[in-house]
Amino acid sequence: MNTQNSSTKLYVVLSLLILVMMGLVGCGTLEVGALPVDAASEASGTGIQIGIEPTPIPETLTYTNNLYGFKVSVQGGG
């Protein structure tokens, strides 16, 4: 009976510890695997900034339906 009581306490303590860790990570207090700003800039070394570039749109967009035998072409905004 004493073994069941101690295992229940251990389960409760571990559950609370996991909940506290999840709360800290969710609030940003504990950053897992994060690099400091200076270390991140030193790690890149090249000074190149990576960003998102828009996908180029072709000048003419064409849809062809072979079943009904028609084709539609639209001028794109490239």
Distance of alpha carbon 65 from alpha carbon 11, whole angstroms: 63
- Are residues 77 and 57 in contact, defined by beta-carbon separation less than 8 angstroms? yes
Of 9-18, 36-45, 68-77, least confident by mean pLDDT is 36-45
Question: Is the per-residue pLDDT at 45 higher than 80?
Answer: no
Regarding pTM above 0.75, the answer is: no
Question: Residue 30, Cβ neighbours under 10 Å: how many?
Answer: 13
Share of the chain above pLDDT 90, in %: 14
